[in-house]
Each structure stands twice: as structure tokens, then as C-alpha cells.
């Protein structure tokens, strides 16, 4: 197996590990893409090799840092900003917020692009999702917010006896020094976080899970979603947005409202009313909203 492919498949436990892998991918991409088309703010690149073509996922050029040296500089700025957040010095410039979103976006999209070229798509999807969950966990840990993956076990009766439904929570973040939620209950002050690269085919499950969790634990439960983006390649030189914004509003009004949806690369509708009342950027979450949510 290609050494970089193996590196991409390896679980990450620190932002330093993500830095190393991202720089390796950025250097790799400089020599491996042969054709690029631009659609608005997005670029769609591909690799031609021995008569075969491999397309990379659409990359937002306003967010993505292509040069490894520039990425190193921006990554160091990110670490400084996260240190300020950990110290609860919550005063940030627009440039600070841009650094947060750009660096985290570049890390995750570099991992995705590496998988696009080096690993068969049917085996890469889960790895890409796992790296994103690990990346978000590392960011929360870096700013001093306790977090962990939990599996809530919900028993139910069947004709053949009692069985258990395992409701996986990608992340639970906590205002305490240690996460108090367990496999049998959720702490009311903690936040259940769904961490997905896209809301496509997943948005509805968040609302249903919130209703299920609240019914089982018998108290209101805060639930938020963190998404990388909602954009996909359409044919060779086009993109389409996958956020079904109308359905989101129907779920919000007629099922249950979530406490927030946060994007690294928000689709256009997310920044317009009424969707912007419920959706924002990842940088806003970790510099402002998360502290309000954990305190409520």
C-alpha cells in the first residue's frame, strides 16, 4: 500500500498529526493533478494516468490553503487562536475566524482529496468520516472542552425478549472536567454533537435522534450538527448543493428544533434568512456559541 494512503487511514489523536498528514498531501497534490476546472469559488481537479481518470472532490478556493508553507504559517496561527480560546480570551478578529475555518477545512479536504486519488471510493468513505470526527475532537480538546464518543443503549421489548438499540453519538461535549453522559443516560447540560462531512441523507436522522434521546432520557437534550460542507461534483465541470433547506425548516418547525448547525464551508442558503437563524460557521461555534450552549 502507498505510504501516504496508509497514513491517511491511520487514526489521528492530535492536531500535530493532522498537520503532518496535511502537509504530505499538499506536497503530493502539487505533482499529481493534471487538469482543473473552476466553477464559482470551487475548483474541480482530476488525475489522468494510464488512460484512467480520478476526480477530486470540489475544493473551495476561498478556504483552501494549497501551499504547504502557507499552510504551516496558518496552522501556527490557528494553534495560537485555540490557545486564546482555551484561556477564555474571547475577542477575535474576522481574520482569526477566517484562519479557524480555513485551516480546519484545509486539513479535512486534504485528507478527502488524498483518499480520492489513493484509495478506492467504497473503502475510503468511512475513513474520511472518521478522520473528520477525530479532527473535531482534537479541536475541542485543544480549547479545553471535554468530549468523547458515546453509545447510548436503549432497551426495547420484542416477542423474543428484551433487545438493545445502540444509538451512537459521534461526540458529547461537556462543561465539566469529565464527560458525565454514559451508555445509559445523557447529562442535561452536555451537548450531543453529530459530526458529518455532509448533511446529505443524514439531516433527518439528527432530528429523529434528538426526539428519541429526549424521550428515553426524559429531559430536554441539546443537539447540534457540525458539517464540512454540502457541495458535490456534478458531471465533470459542475457542482450542486446538497442541503435540502426547505426540508430542514419543516423538520425544525414540525418535529423539533436543534440547537444549531455549523459548517466549515456553508452552502449559500445557510447564510440567508431564515436559515441563518439556525446555521452558522464552525468558527462562530468554538469562539462564541459553544460557551453559551454549555452554560445554559
Looking at the predicted structure, is the pLDDT value of residue 56 above 80? yes
If asked whether residues 159 and 187 sit together in one domain, one would say yes
Model confidence over 196-228: pLDDT tens digits? 999 998 899 999 999 999 999 999 999 999 999
Looking at the predicted structure, is the pLDDT value of residue 164 above 90? yes
Residues above pLDDT 90, as percent of the chain: 86
Assess contact for 181 and 172: CB atoms under 8 A.
Answer: yes
If asked whether residues 230 and 163 sit together in one domain, one would say yes
Last residue of a domain, one of 126, 142, 158: 142
Looking at the predicted structure, is the pLDDT value of residue 49 above 90? no
If asked whether residues 54 and 27 sit together in one domain, one would say yes
| pTM attached to this predicted model | 0.96
Model confidence over 91-123: pLDDT tens digits? 999 999 999 999 999 999 999 999 999 998 777
Looking at the predicted structure, is the pLDDT value of residue 48 above 80? no
If asked whether residues 168 and 131 sit together in one domain, one would say no
Model confidence over 260-286: pLDDT tens digits? 999 999 999 999 999 999 999 999 999
Looking at the predicted structure, is the pLDDT value of residue 11 above 90? yes
The domain tally of the chain equals 2
Last residue of a domain, one of 92, 122, 142: 142
> In the prediction, which pLDDT does 236 show?
80
If asked whether residues 75 and 166 sit together in one domain, one would say no
If asked whether residues 130 and 243 sit together in one domain, one would say no
Q: At 89, is the pLDDT very low, low, confident or very high (cuts 50, 70, 90)?
A: very high
Count of CB atoms within 10 A of residue 175's CB?
A: 17
If asked whether residues 234 and 270 sit together in one domain, one would say yes
- What whole-number distance in Å separates Cα of residue 9 and Cα of residue 21? 11
> In the prediction, which pLDDT does 1 show?
66
Q: What is the mean pLDDT of the chain?
A: 94
Q: Which domain holds residue 215?
A: 146-295
Work out the average pLDDT over 126-144.
97
If asked whether residues 136 and 24 sit together in one domain, one would say yes
If asked whether residues 105 and 160 sit together in one domain, one would say no
Count of CB atoms within 10 A of residue 205's CB?
A: 13
3-state secondary structure the chain: CCHHHHHHHCCCCCHHHHHHHHHHHHHHHHHHCCEEEEECCEEEEEEEECCEEEECCCEECCCCCCCHHHHHHHHHHHHHHHHHHHCCCCCCCHHHHHHHHHHHHHHHHHHHHHHHHHCCHHHHHHHHHHHHHHHHHHHHHHCCCEEEEEEEEEEEEECCEEEEEEEEEEEEEECCCCCCCCCCCCCCCCEEEEEECCCCCCHHHHHHHHHHHHHHHCCCCEEEEEEEECEEEECCCEEEECCCHHHHHHHHHHCCCCCEEEEEECCHHHHCCCHHHCEEEHHHHHHHHHHHHHHC
Looking at the predicted structure, is the pLDDT value of residue 187 above 70? yes
If asked whether residues 110 and 123 sit together in one domain, one would say yes
Question: What Rg do the C-alpha atoms of the chain give, in angstroms?
Answer: 20
Q: At 50, is the pLDDT very low, low, confident or very high (cuts 50, 70, 90)?
A: low
If asked whether residues 12 and 46 sit together in one domain, one would say yes
Count of CB atoms within 10 A of residue 246's CB?
A: 10
Amino acid at each position: 500500500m502507498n505510504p501516504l494512503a496508509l497514513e491517511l487511514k491511520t487514526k489521528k489523536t492530535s492536531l500535530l498529526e493532522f498537520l503532518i498528514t496535511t502537509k504530505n498531501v499538499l506536497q503530493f497534490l502539487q505533482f499529481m493533478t493534471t487538469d482543473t476546472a473552476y466553477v464559482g469559488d470551487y475548483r474541480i481537479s482530476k488525475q489522468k494516468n494510464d488512460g484512467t481518470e480520478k476526480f477530486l472532490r470540489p475544493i473551495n478556493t476561498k478556504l483552501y490553503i494549497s501551499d504547504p508553507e502557507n499552510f504551516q504559517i496558518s496552522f501556527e496561527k490557528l494553534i495560537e487562536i485555540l490557545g486564546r480560546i482555551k484561556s477564555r480570551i474571547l475577542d477575535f478578529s474576522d481574520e482569526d475566524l477566517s484562519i479557524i475555518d480555513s485551516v480546519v477545512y484545509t486539513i479535512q479536504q486534504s485528507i478527502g482529496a488524498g483518499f480520492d486519488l489513493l484509495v478506492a471510493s467504497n473503502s475510503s468513505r468511512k475513513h474520511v468520516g472518521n478522520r473528520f470526527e477525530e479532527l473535531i475532537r482534537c479541536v475541542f480538546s485543544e480549547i479545553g472542552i471535554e468530549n468523547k464518543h458515546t453509545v447510548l443503549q436503549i432497551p426495547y421489548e420484542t416477542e423474543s425478549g428484551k433487545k438493545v438499540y445502540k444509538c451512537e453519538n459521534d461526540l458529547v461535549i461537556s462543561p465539566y472536567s469529565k464527560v458525565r453522559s454514559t451508555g445509559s443516560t445523557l447529562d442535561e447540560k452536555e451537548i450531543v454533537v453529530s459530526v458529518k462531512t455532509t448533511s446529505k441523507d443524514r439531516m433527518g436522522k439528527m432530528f429523529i435522534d434528538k426526539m428519541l434521546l429526549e424521550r428515553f432520557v426524559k429531559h430536554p437534550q441539546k443537539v447540534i450538527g457540525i458539517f464540512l460542507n454540502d457541495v458535490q461534483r456534478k458531471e465533470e465541470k459542475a457542482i450542486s448543493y446538497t442541503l435540502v433547506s426547505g426540508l430542514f425548516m419543516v423538520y425544525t418547525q414540525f418535529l423539533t428544533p436543534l440547537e444549531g448547525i455549523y459548517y466549515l464551508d456553508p452552502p449559500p442558503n445557510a447564510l440567508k434568512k431564515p436559515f441563518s437563524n439556525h446555521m452558522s460557521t464552525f468558527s462562530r461555534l468554538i469562539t462564541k456559541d459553544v460557551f453559551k450552549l454549555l452554560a445554559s
